[in-house]
Amino acid sequence: MRIEEIYKLLDSLSPFELQEEWDNSGLIVGSMQDEVESINISLDLHKDTVLKAEKKTLFITHHPLIFKPIKKFDYSKFPTNILKAVIEKECAVIAMHTNIDKTHLNRFVLESVLGFKALESKGFICYFETDKDFDELALHVKKKIGDSTIKVVPSAKKIKKVAFCAGSGGDLLNEIDADCFISGDFKYHHLIEAKENNTAVIDIGHFESERYFSHMLSEHLKNFPLKVIITDSKNPFEYK
């Protein structure tokens, strides 16, 4: 099957033109006319995944393998060590990053994982309503996400409206209109700002909130005439 055919389906699902200016979604390695024999979906692309894959595999990742300009090809360093393996095995790479955040991933995690119904979506942010004390909401999220390391900026007031963004949402703090913001990658100064503005925060982590990408996307590729493999990426952090 040609990459062009797969690309068109992915583009119809979540148009690549929706990606942010700074993003690098789309076909990163390969040619539209290349033939591929299997598909591997993962949050990130790791060298061992490429080495274990069959030749002519198309890797569909959430995070782009090439994000910043590459100034030299040092095969001992990321990402050129992975690029070398991809090219040697005649494989290809497509990234679906900020485009699918906006169209699918945020809503999928909010509804299918956390169990809340999205009322509206604005860019990267989904909103939902609840009627919980902060501690009750935080405990619910902690149980659903299956992680014991969430970090919070609590609030004494009843939580009515909540904003959600999978991945890294700290820089969006000024854009939300809610009692609480659930996301990942909040920096120290984000949290100071939230506390001073009386906005509750639940930090569920970047990896923890986006690890569902592969399973979400695979649901849309069930009827493909190619073998679709899901590779679960591992969190680079280890918690002691």
Instruction: Write the DSSP string, 110-133.
Output: IIIIS-----EEETTEEEEEEEE-
Dig out the tokens for 98 from the structure. Answer: 């900020």
H/E segment holding residue 161: strand 159-164
Query: How do residues 19-60 score in pLDDT, each as one tens digit?
Result: 999 999 999 999 999 999 999 999 999 999 999 999 999 999
Strands 200-203 and 151-153: antiparallel
Say what the pLDDT of residue 155 is.
92
Sequence-distant (≥ 6) Cβ neighbours of residue 171 within 8 angstroms: 190
Closest C-alpha to 146, from 212, 70, 52? 212
Say what the pLDDT of residue 169 is.
95
Say what the pLDDT of residue 239 is.
81
Amino acid at 57: T
Strands 180-183 and 200-203: parallel
Say what the pLDDT of residue 147 is.
67
User: Residues of the chain whose pLDDT is less than 70?
Assistant: 147-148
Q: What is the dihedral of CA 66, 68, 70, 76, to 10 degrees?
A: -70
3-99+211-230 and 101-209 have identical folds: yes
| Pure H helices in 46-178 | 47-52, 80-88, 98-100, 106-108, 134-145
Query: How do residues 216-234 score in pLDDT, each as one tens digit?
Result: 999 999 888 889 999 989 8
The CATH homologous superfamily of the domain defined by 3-99+211-230:
NIF3 (NGG1p interacting factor 3)-like (3.40.1390.30)
Instruction: Yes or no: say if 58 and 38 are a contact pair by the CB < 8 Å rule.
Output: yes
**pTM listed for this prediction:** 0.95
Say what the pLDDT of residue 149 is.
78
Where in the chain are the domains?
3-99+211-230, 101-209
- Compute CA 88 distance to the chain's CA centroid, rounded to the nearest angstrom: 27
Instruction: Yes or no: say if 98 and 20 are a contact pair by the CB < 8 Å rule.
Output: yes
* Domain 101-209 CATH (choose: 3.40.1390.30, 3.40.1160.10, 3.10.690.10, 3.40.50.720): 3.40.1390.30
Instruction: Yes or no: say if 27 and 94 are a contact pair by the CB < 8 Å rule.
Output: yes
Say what the pLDDT of residue 238 is.
85
Instruction: Yes or no: say if 25 and 90 are a contact pair by the CB < 8 Å rule.
Output: no
